Amino acid sequence: MAETTQVSASLEDYLEVIYHTVQAKGAARAKDIVQRMGVHNSSVTQALRSLSEKKLVNYAPYDTVTLTPSGEAIALDVVYRHEVLRKFLDNVLGLPADEADAGACRMEHAISGPILDRLVHFVKYFETCPSADIRWDAQAGYFCGEGTVHHGGKCGRDVCGEETLDLTDLDSKAQDNRNASNNQGS
């Protein structure tokens, strides 16, 4: 059985950028990676050397960068995880596209295979089921079926016969903690 190469989240990001750059331009150069990632030349050079040592890219200074078959396999896996998470965050949770993309980028490195598999099945169900018309309603503050009439703040899909879990207090505390954390970083 072949040994799996362990790659950090940072190096996964480089492989993903190289993959997308090659798809868009036909080739990738270090300067393309610098521009797409917004990092310094020295960081790209160091990452490319590391990826080359792991036999994930073909790299020589001042030449184009290509993915090896192993590098491409890892890049495609990262792209796949990213796309599933982006679709979930955008299509299911109704987040703005840029926020969904940024969130997917952060989450793609940490999600386990079994969780990703469940999300894939859920997104497929959500996109293909004719009755899957439930979307986030920002005005109402909860998920609701599109085109349904609100009755007393509910759309009829929010009640499943059991008491719903009220996370209002916990959400307020979490928001306060996020705000305090953001203020400390400023």
Q: For residue range 86-112, list pLDDT tens digits in order.
A: 988 988 888 899 999 999 999 998 888
97 vs 90: CA distance, rounded Å: 6
Please tell me the pTM assigned to this model.
0.70
pLDDT of residue 140: 62
Residues 6+ apart with CB under 8 A from 32: 21, 25
According to CATH, the topology of domain 9-75 is Arc Repressor Mutant, subunit A (1.10.10)
pLDDT tens, position by position, 47-76: 999 999 999 999 999 999 999 999 999 999
Pairing outcome for strands 134-137 and 66-67: unpaired
Query: Which pLDDT score, from 0 to 100, does residue 154 have?
Result: 45
Provide the pLDDT for residue 138. Answer: 65
> What values do phi and psi take at 106, rounded to 5?
-75, -40
pLDDT at 25 over 70: yes
Given a cut of 90, whether residue 21 has pLDDT beyond it is yes
Where do the structural domains in the chain lie, given as residue ranges? 9-75, 132-159
pLDDT of 15 over the 80 cut: yes
